[in-house]
């Protein structure tokens, strides 16, 4: 059986119920305020929810620790993992065997290094012959271009100065091109003037012959004098 709510005025009359009824009748407390207080969650429900949140946070923290451990294991796998350690041990063992062989043949190797190796043929296995042909082609090409490469490397410190000289030369070329264009225009104008003068000379000569035949004297005109001067220049 549910227990009576002491804050509900409709339940069995009690001191608290009577007091609330008096407050409701006087208007100090409304029925909505009482209904809101009824619908509020209980303390135990909030406590269980808080416990669930705490458990989830602890689980997330545990997963983050596991992820961090996996990352550390991945980063240190080449040091800790047995397969990587076995490979490193095998490599070290092969290097050790090679060094032991070198130490055993130390005297013969020293004599071989002291002896010049010019005009001798080095034995190369047949598998590597094609690679050696390609390597020799690359070596010949490199030697042919070595002087050009060295010259390019020598010119690198003077690159800025050369660029300045090139820019100045280009500016001079632009000026020369402009002057050449102006000179070409002047030559074309001069040719047109010479054509006009040469076309007017026969007319003037014909007029002078006509005047001499008829004994007509005319004062010299400035135009004719200019024409004579131009004809003399043309000759």
**Boundaries of every domain in the chain:** 41-114, 129-157, 162-212
What pLDDT sits at residue 159? 76
What pLDDT sits at residue 103? 87
Rounded CA gap, 44 and 56, in Å?
18
> Contact at 8 Å (CB) between 131 and 138?
no
The token pair that represents 207 in the structure block: 């007029």
Query: What is the residue-level pLDDT of the chain in tens, covering all 235 positions?
Result: 444 455 544 445 566 667 777 777 777 767 776 666 555 455 566 777 888 888 999 999 999 999 998 888 877 766 666 777 788 888 899 999 988 988 888 888 888 777 766 556 667 788 888 888 899 899 999 888 888 888 888 877 777 888 888 889 999 999 999 999 999 999 999 988 888 888 887 777 777 777 776 654 444 444 444 444 444 443 3
What pLDDT sits at residue 218? 47
Entry pTM: 0.26
What pLDDT sits at residue 214? 64
What pLDDT sits at residue 2? 46
- DSSP states along the chain: -PPPPTT-TTSS--HHHHHHHHHHHHTSS-HHHHHHHHHSPPHHHHHHHHHHHHHHHHHHHHHHHHHHHHHHHHHTHHHH-HHHHHHHHHHHHHHHHHHHHHHHTHHHHHHHHHS--TT-PPP--GGGHHHHHHHHHHHHHHHHTHHHHHHHHHHSTTHHHHHHHHHHHHHHHHHHHHHHHHHHHHHHHHHHHHHHHHHHHHHHHHHHHHHHHTT---PPPHHHHHHHHHHHHH-
The token pair that represents 1 in the structure block: 């059986």
What pLDDT sits at residue 235? 39
């Amino acid at each position: 059986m549910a227990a009576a709510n002491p804050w509900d005025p409709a339940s069995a009359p009690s001191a608290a119920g009577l007091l609330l009824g008096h407050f409701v009748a006087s208007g100090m407390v409304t029925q909505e305020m009482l209904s809101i207080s009824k619908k509020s969650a209980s303390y135990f429900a909030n406590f269980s929810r808080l416990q669930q949140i705490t458990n989830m946070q602890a689980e997330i923290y545990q997963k983050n620790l596991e992820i961090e451990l996996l990352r550390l294991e991945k980063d240190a796998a080449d040091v800790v993992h047995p397969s990587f350690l076995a490979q490193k041990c095998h490599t070290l063992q092969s290097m050790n065997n090679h060094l032991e062989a070198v130490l055993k043949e130390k005297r013969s190797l020293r004599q071989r290094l002291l002896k010049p190796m010019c005009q001798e043929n080095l034995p190369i296995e047949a598998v590597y012959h094609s690679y050696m042909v390609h390597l020799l082609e690359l070596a010949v090409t490199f030697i042919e271009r070595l002087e050009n490469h060295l010259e390019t490397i020598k010119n690198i410190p003077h690159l800025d100065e050369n660029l300045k000289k090139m820019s100045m030369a280009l500016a001079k070329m632009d000026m020369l091109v402009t002057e050449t264009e102006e000179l070409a225009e002047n030559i074309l104008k001069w040719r047109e003037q010479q054509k006009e003068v040469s076309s007017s000379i026969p007319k003037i000569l014909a007029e002078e012959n006509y005047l001499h035949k008829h004994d007509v004297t005319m004062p010299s005109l400035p135009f004719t004098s200019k024409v004579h001067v131009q004809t003399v220049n043309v000759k």
